[in-house]
Amino acid sequence: MAPQVDHARLKLDFKDDASRAMASAAVCAAAREGDAELLHLLLRSTCSDDLPVDSMGESAWETPLMIAARHGHSQCLRTLLDFGADCGAQGEDGKRAFYLAAFEGHLHCLFTLFAAGAEVDACDAHGFRAVHAAALNGHCMCLEALVGMGADVNAAIHDGKSLSLSFSLSLSLSLSLSLSLSLSRSISLSLSLSISISSYL
């Protein structure tokens, strides 16, 4: 039988690099698996000025908040935010937790991050925004939510390279498939995005 852990008395002390790496790995694993209770315990026991929550990523480009957003765990997002996680932190290519939630289609995570002050139209290093990520992957409910949050559907992508026609069509088709939007609004959004992107072809 596994030993019982007294969560109220558990206090972890990580003073060297190896033990801090172990703490970070545990936090990231809890965020990935969606175990908000364990995540809270770990953060309460380890998070400090010397070991802030945003420094606990598995790599230099993915914080625990990004991991939770990518895997769709909104309760873990709230826990991380309560411990000071920065929803504006940028990872690989400038991507943020809000973008990752949109890319994966996690609607509740979008609302959680938006309520915490996430920037709706933040760009990654190539000019991609959450609205592009949701449209590209056909996440229509996320797309409608982003529009309601004030996302700029006319935002252009500017990575200095030509975009493929198939990408532009993918965005417009994803928008037109949104059953929750009215027909005229869906067409308007579709045209706005495809025109803005096509101008860079």
Amino acid 119: pLDDT: 96
Lowest mean pLDDT among 31-45, 70-84, 139-153, 174-188: 174-188
More confident residue, 57 or 78: 78
Strand partners, 59: 62
More confident residue, 199 or 157: 157
Which residues neighbour 185 within 8 Å (Cβ) at sequence distance 6 or greater?
none
Amino acid 47: pLDDT: 72
Amino acid 57: pLDDT: 72
Quick one: tokens of 72? Answer: 């769709």
Provide the pLDDT confidence category of residue 126 given band limits of 50, 70 and 90. Answer: confident
Residue 133: pLDDT over 50 = yes
Provide the pLDDT confidence category of residue 4 given band limits of 50, 70 and 90. Answer: very low
More confident residue, 145 or 185: 145
C-alpha R_g of the chain: 19
What is the chain's length? 201
Query: Whole-angstrom Cα distance, residue 114 to residue 120?
Result: 7
Provide the pLDDT confidence category of residue 86 given band limits of 50, 70 and 90. Answer: very high
The mean of the pLDDT values for the chain is 76
Provide the pLDDT confidence category of residue 157 given band limits of 50, 70 and 90. Answer: confident
Strand partners, 116: none
Q: What is the mean pLDDT of residues 176-187?
A: 44
Q: What angle do CA 177, 179, 180 make, to 5 degrees?
A: 130
Residue 184: pLDDT over 70 = no
Quick one: tokens of 45? Answer: 């026991």
More confident residue, 70 or 166: 70
Amino acid 74: pLDDT: 97
Q: What is the mean pLDDT of residues 91-96?
A: 89
Handedness of CA 143, 149, 150, 151 (dihedral sign): negative
